[in-house]
Amino acid sequence: MDNLLLEKATIKELSKKLSSKEISSVELTEAYISRIKELNEKLNCFITVTEDKALVAAKAADKRIKDGSDITPLTGIPISLKDIFTTKGVRTTCASKMLGNFIPPYDSTVTLKLKEAGAVILGKLNMDEFAMGSSTENSAFGVTKNPWDTLRVPGGSSGGSAVAVAASLSTASLGTDTGGSIRQPASLCGVVGLKPTYGRVSRFGMIAFASSLDQAGPFTKTVEDAALMLNAIAGHDAQDSTSINEPPPDFTEKLENGVKGLRIGVPKEYFIEGLNKEVEDSVRAAIAILEKQGAEVVEVSLPHTEYAVSVYYLIATAEASSNLARFDGIRYGLRVDNGEGLFELYKNSRDAGFGAEVKRRIMLGTYSLSSGYYDAYYKKASEVRTLIKRDFEEAFKKCDVIATPTSPSTAFKIGEKASDPLTMYLSDIFTISTNLGGNPGISIPCKISNDGLPIGLQLIGKSMDETTLLQAANAYEKHSGVGIITPKL
């Protein structure tokens, strides 16, 4: 199978080819596996490749297709998962030494749903340790490289998931987004990345970073594929009490409805100093395309945007410090038992198991929750979070979808921000508010910069209205002329 086919391959098209028996899932899976073998050394996006299991699943999918029963758009399609989703019998590391040998006895709900749909899982993808980061440099398994320029980061924390799709090592993948970790790497790698509404997708079996913000979502080459993936993973789950108890719609239903009559809000707080000029120009040009297609562009205001990064880094670290307390060498995780007594076992295990950024976050979070500081930090941050959520509710009285840049710049160089956590934190400035508000957001490629790097347009939707969000995103994709962009490798 030639590489060109994989580079342009979408779920939609491959599914047609599989149904008409033009190709088999085994052939397709073998083609991806051989491409992974060829390119993973260079890109380091897979932590674990599950070749044997994938071929077994591909055979089963081919049989399902031959029998003509129970076929879904994902049957036989090779995908891969961020290494944060538990996979029964397959190592799940969260890119941490702490879980370097963890083989879960169960599947996360999304893993199970994808398996049931007949998708073929090729392996587990690199990420920032415990999803903390914006560059995939914080992985215990080495940095993932951006396929557009391997001296640059792919973004993060779902860097491996973005690269697997951008470099055509999977038709689609799954990542998680707590403060931008799907949308920002999608933007930096030139693919589509969708963060659904908080609670739309079950978090069961997804290793927790900040439970009130975490949400799973797909990376794909097209908006339509993102809708197909969301169809497969969305829905209430009794095992996750925060998953929304409402049957999800068919997210492909209104894809072709266009933007005529839709109001696109442009928040002035997102076009600020520090935003790269070329990124700004491309996003404004993208908005003009939507306007030309009949959308009405309105200015909106999200006045508390300037507090979002601070609020996020108080809430996310507080939740992380609590979630990560279980990794103590006794209940979970790496055990280093070379000291004296229980306390030293905890201390030595956590010291050896966690990387620098994870430790920094645990300390920040523990501090902001500690007595005497709780009111000043965590509680205050929670109050401001409510104001940010209200900003969106107010803005969405005036518009149906909000358009902004996804990231203030294109992919930065490996090492460029690694020693300065604050600069790194600022790279999520446009994505974080969406998580604080719970709203869905998507990043779509909108241009290749003059120095050959992808730029992303972010669209943000009303809570629970992925349908309109995808409709607007699809209209943009169809009329932008950008198409599927692929790096030369």
Residues that bind ligand GLN (CB under 6 A): 131-134, 157, 177-181, 209, 316, 428
Q: Which is nearer to ligand GLN, 300 or 316 (CB)?
A: 316
Q: Which is nearer to ligand GLN, 80 or 168 (CB)?
A: 80
Q: How far is CA 268 from CA 176, 386, 478, in A?
A: 28, 20, 26
Q: Are 165 and 77 in contact (CB under 8 A)?
A: no
> Who's near 198: CB < 8 A, 6+ residues apart?
212, 213, 215, 242, 435, 438
Q: Which is nearer to ligand GLN, 64 or 124 (CB)?
A: 124
| Residue 157 annotated to the active site | yes
CB of 312 to ligand GLN, least distance (A): 7
Burial of 5 from C-beta contacts in 10 A (0-12 / 13-18 / 19+): middle
Element (H, E) at 432: helix 432-437
CB of 182 to ligand GLN, least distance (A): 7
Beta bridge mates, 216:
176
Residue nearest ligand GLN (C-beta atom): 181
Bridging pattern class, strands 401-405 and 263-267: parallel
CB of 408 to ligand GLN, least distance (A): 13
Q: Are 97 and 61 in contact (CB under 8 A)?
A: no
Burial of 23 from C-beta contacts in 10 A (0-12 / 13-18 / 19+): middle
Q: Which is nearer to ligand GLN, 50 or 184 (CB)?
A: 184
Q: Of 181, 282, 443, 463, which one is the catalytic site residue?
A: 181
Q: Are 324 and 358 in contact (CB under 8 A)?
A: yes
Q: Of 12, 24, 80, 82, which one is the catalytic site residue?
A: 82
Residue matched to tokens 């978090």: 203
CB of 214 to ligand GLN, least distance (A): 7
| Residue 158 annotated to the active site | no
Closest alpha carbon to 95 in 161, 148, 32, 179: 161
CB of 210 to ligand GLN, least distance (A): 8
Joined together, the tokens standing for residue 356 give: 């620098």
Beta bridge mates, 120:
78
Alpha-carbon torsion angle 293, 296, 300, 302, nearest 10: -40
Q: Which is nearer to ligand GLN, 58 or 188 (CB)?
A: 188
CB of 18 to ligand GLN, least distance (A): 33
CB of 54 to ligand GLN, least distance (A): 26
Q: Is 8 left (phi over 0), alpha (psi -120 to 50) or beta?
A: alpha
Joined together, the tokens standing for residue 294 give: 């009949």
Q: Of 157, 161, 409, 433, which one is the catalytic site residue?
A: 157
Q: Which is nearer to ligand GLN, 136 or 222 (CB)?
A: 136
| Residue 82 annotated to the active site | yes
3 state SS of 348 = helix
Joined together, the tokens standing for residue 382 give: 């929670």
Q: Which is nearer to ligand GLN, 119 or 189 (CB)?
A: 189
Q: Are 55 and 79 in contact (CB under 8 A)?
A: no
Q: Which residues are catalytic?
A: 82, 157, 181
